[in-house]
Amino acid sequence: MRSVILSGVDNARARNVYHKSFRNDYPAFGFLWQIEFFHRLVTSVNLAYGRTIHPMLATALGFAGGLGPKPWRRARTETEFFVPHHAAVFMSASFTEFPVRGRAYNRKGGRVCG
């Protein structure tokens, strides 16, 4: 993942409420299984585990800082139908999780979980 930009609009006032920019690099390893059910129809399952490197968050309010390296894991499934001339049509679903370790606190210092 290279970058993600999140933004929102306050509909009552029609102005930007927040703007965040998140960036990180990651190394990963995983397993990929592919099964051909029919001619030109292939289903794939991909499981991966990795760790973020130099994750950064910046906001329009001037906050910018490092988030620290964190582990992540991903599960993905995909079904592809190969059409002539080296092309394919596919459907996929992916789930990525950044496991939380230790205790989490809300903005006022109260414990949320852990």
Angle at CA of residue 84, ends 79 and 85, nearest 5°:
115
Q: Is residue 15 part of a domain?
A: yes
- Report the alpha-carbon distance of residue 47 to residue 31 in Å, rounded: 5
Q: Contact, 19 vs 4, CB < 8 A?
A: no
- Specify the pTM: 0.57
Provide the pLDDT for residue 108. 52
List the domain range (segments joined by +) for residue 27: 4-99
The token pair at 33 is 């299984």
pLDDT confidence of residue 113? 47
The count of domains in the chain is: 1
Is 108 a domain residue?
Answer: no
Given this model, what pLDDT does residue 77 score? 96
Q: 66 lies in a domain?
A: yes
Q: What is the pLDDT of residues 19-73, one digit of tens each?
A: 778 788 888 999 999 999 888 899 999 999 998 888 888 877 777 887 777 888 9
Residue at 105 is within a domain: no
Residue 112 domain-assigned (yes or no): no
What are 3-18's pLDDT values in tens digits? 444 444 445 554 555 6
